[in-house]
């Protein structure tokens, strides 16, 4: 074979192989096939933006026209560190697009990610109606072989139901690949978690599906990130088991904190020593008012319901859920022990989001605590750096302030409910001057108790002997 012929053959191979593996697309500008992401919530938006940043051409779809118009202009409806910059960058580079035309995007893509919500439904079960609607739409628009990856959190057996729905609504009987790729993103650091994950999981029933997913994630795999290739059933289990285990760690350390208070131990010292054991690890051993957010509360309940259908008792997970449900009442009890009746007591609350670095208030421990205090007749005055608007959608009558010091004016007590780092920078001498009673309840063990006591504050914390 002469040199000229060999060079031409290699050139043809390099040009054609992406089309042979994925299919062509008129918009394609990256090194892989075009991708459609259906759903632009936390998971979908972060996934779409980050895939585009890896070099892929991505169209994020949603039925919410107003949201799509905002996103197309680079306006992000959620607060997530680094996300705005990455969206703008990839909009400008023509790798990231937004559309309400889901059918057209499916037709023009070879790889589809499903990221719609699976909110808590009846009796704690996951509401799968949105994901089943998407599966039906995909089935009706399969005109050449596509690979479909589910990212939404779903209970065991759901991927097979999705497969059946797609097949039922696929009149041309076009073949397709289906896999489950669970996400492990933490709100507040989801971009970082996507770009530098602990592991990547793909559940698939054939090597082709797993290989295509691996190729899409190749830039991350090149960094040395482990890829776990599993069955679909194992991938479904991995997601729920992971979130449930972390929930158990949180509930465990909160129970240890209660025990520490009774015997005069310091939960921070205990947690540090426990966490240094490599078999345990230090993550999620921070005591507080309980876990919240869009994942742990919903996923643990859905996990319990799924297990129940198979006749399995997840007693450890159930105990974690029960422990978490009691955290707000325990804090209220401590306040009652200090003040007696809470009726008419003016309480300033710092933090409304379920955690720092996010404006998400879903299942927020801070809001649960506020509702419990309101039920006891307390008067609440609240501040959060970015979550106030979302909090008012849940509690529209909540008294909120744009300046934290104003919320503390004349307060009988101050509760730190969300561990925003900016609260460490408050002028606590000014806080002292503004408050009526100098009592601080730090439910996150964030503040320097020694410094606060030197000013004259009475300080209550979690899992420590309080003086």
The string of pLDDT tens digits covering residues 82-112 is 999 999 999 999 999 999 999 999 999 999 9
Is residue 20 helix, strand or coil? helix
**CA-to-CA distance for 378 and 333, rounded, in angstroms?**
13
What average pLDDT score do residues 433-458 get? 97
What average pLDDT score do residues 111-119 get? 96
Q: Which residue stretches of 141-188 are H helix?
A: 158-168
**Fold equal for 240-324 and 328-461:** no
| pLDDT value of residue 32 | 60
**Per-domain residue ranges of the chain:** 3-230, 240-324, 328-461
What average pLDDT score do residues 127-135 get? 95
Q: Render 262-325 in DSSP notation, one character per residue.
A: HHT--HHHHHHHHHTSTTT-STT---SS---SSSHHHHHHHHHHHHHHTT---HHHHHHHHHHH
Query: Which single residue is written with the structure tokens 């449930």?
Result: 244
Cβ–Cβ under 8 Å, residues 72 and 59: no
pLDDT tens for each residue of 311-343: 999 999 999 999 999 999 999 999 999 999 999
| C-alpha closest to that of 23 among 144, 143, 137, 138 | 144
Phi-psi region of 115 (alpha: psi -120 to 50; beta: other; left: phi over 0): alpha
pLDDT tens for each residue of 252-306: 999 999 999 999 999 999 999 999 999 999 999 999 999 999 899 999 999 999 9
| Predicted confidence band of residue 33 (pLDDT cuts 50, 70, 90) | confident
Q: Which residue stretches of 196-278 are H helix?
A: 207-216, 218-221, 232-263, 267-275
Token readout for 140 is: 């009706």
Q: Is 260 a catalytic residue?
A: no
- Please give the helix or strand (H or E) that residue 405 lies within, else none: helix 404-407
Q: Which fold has domain 328-461?
A: Rossmann fold (3.40.50)
| pTM for the predicted model, two decimal places | 0.87
Residue 262 CB partners (closer than 8 Å, separation 6+)? none
Residue 364 CB partners (closer than 8 Å, separation 6+)? 292, 293, 352, 353, 354, 387, 391, 418
Residue 294 CB partners (closer than 8 Å, separation 6+)? 42, 187, 360, 362, 363
Among residues of the chain, what percentage have pLDDT more than 70?
Answer: 93
The maximal CA–CA distance of the chain, rounded, in angstroms, is 94
What average pLDDT score do residues 416-437 get? 97
| pLDDT value of residue 467 | 58
**CA-to-CA distance for 35 and 23, rounded, in angstroms?**
11
Tally of CA atoms within 13 A in the half-sphere of 9 that contains its CB: 6
What average pLDDT score do residues 43-59 get? 97
Q: Write down the catalytic residue from 50, 60, 260, 295.
A: 295
What average pLDDT score do residues 63-79 get? 94
* CA quadruple 142, 148, 152, 156: dihedral sign: positive
Q: Which fold has domain 240-324?
A: 1.10.1040
pLDDT tens for each residue of 150-180: 999 999 999 999 999 999 999 889 999 999 9
| pLDDT value of residue 465 | 79
CATH class of 3-230: alpha beta
Taking the alpha carbons at both ends of the chain, their separation in whole angstroms is 87
| Average pLDDT over all residues of the chain | 92
What are the two backbone dihedrals, phi and then psi, of residue 304, each rounded to the nearest 5 degrees?
-65, -40
| pLDDT value of residue 171 | 87
**Is 397 a residue whose pLDDT tops 80?**
yes
Q: In this structure, what DSSP letter does residue 350 have?
A: E
| pLDDT value of residue 162 | 97
Residue 52, judged by CB atoms within 10 A of its CB (0-12, 13-18, 19+), counts as buried
Cβ–Cβ under 8 Å, residues 317 and 251: no
């Amino acid at each position: 074979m002469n040199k000229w012929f060999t060079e031409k053959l290699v050139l043809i191979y390099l040009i054609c192989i992406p089309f042979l593996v994925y299919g062509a697309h008129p918009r394609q500008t990256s090194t892989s096939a075009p991708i459609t992401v259906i759903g632009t919530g936390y998971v979908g938006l972060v996934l779409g933006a980050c895939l585009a940043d890896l070099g892929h051409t991505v169209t994020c779809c949603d039925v919410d026209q107003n949201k799509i118009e905002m996103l197309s202009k680079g306006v992000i409806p959620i607060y997530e560190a680094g996300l705005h910059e990455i969206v703008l960058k990839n909009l400008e580079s023509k790798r990231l697009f937004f559309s309400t035309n889901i059918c057209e995007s499916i037709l023009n893509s070879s790889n589809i990610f499903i990221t719609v919500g699976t909110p808590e439904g009846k009796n704690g079960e996951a509401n799968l109606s949105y994901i089943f609607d998407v599966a039906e739409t995909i089935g009706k628009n399969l005109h050449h072989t596509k690979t479909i990856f589910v990212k939404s959190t779903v209970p065991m057996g759901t991927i097979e139901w999705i497969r059946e729905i797609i097949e039922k609504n696929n009149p041309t009987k076009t073949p397709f690949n289906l896999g489950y790729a669970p996400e492990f993103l933490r709100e507040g650091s989801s971009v970082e978690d996507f770009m530098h994950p602990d592991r990547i999981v793909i559940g698939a029933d054939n090597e082709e599906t797993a290989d295509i997913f691996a190729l899409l994630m190749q830039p991350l795999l090149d960094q040395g990130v482990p890829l776990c290739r599993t069955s679909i059933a194992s991938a479904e289990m991995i997601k729920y088991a992971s979130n449930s285990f972390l929930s158990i760690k949180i509930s465990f350390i909160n129970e240890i904190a209660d025990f520490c208070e009774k015997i005069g131990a310091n939960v921070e010292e205990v947690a540090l020593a426990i966490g240094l054991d490599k078999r345990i690890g230090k993550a999620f051993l921070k005591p507080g008012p309980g876990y919240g957010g869009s994942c742990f509360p919903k996923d643990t309940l859905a996990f319990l319901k799924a297990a129940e259908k198979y006749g399995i008792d997840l007693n450890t997970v159930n105990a974690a859920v029960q422990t978490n449900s009691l955290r707000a009442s325990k804090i209220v009890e401590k306040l009652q022990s200090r003040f007696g009746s809470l009726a008419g007591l003016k309480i300033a609350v710092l933090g409304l989001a379920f955690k720092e670095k996010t404006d998400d208030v879903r299942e927020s421990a801070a809001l649960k605590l506020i509702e419990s205090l309101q039920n006891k007749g307390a008067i609440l005055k609240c501040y959060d750096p970015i979550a106030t608007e979302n909090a008012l959608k849940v509690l529209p009558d909540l008294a909120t302030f744009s300046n934290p010091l104003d919320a503390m004016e004349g307060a009988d007590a101050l509760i730190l409910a969300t561990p925003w780092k900016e609260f460490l920078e408050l002028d606590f001498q000014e806080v002292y001057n503004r408050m009526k009673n100098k009592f601080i309840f730090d439910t996150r063990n964030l503040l320097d108790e020694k410094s606060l006591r030197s000013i004259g504050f009475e300080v209550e914390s979690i899992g420590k002997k309080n003086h």
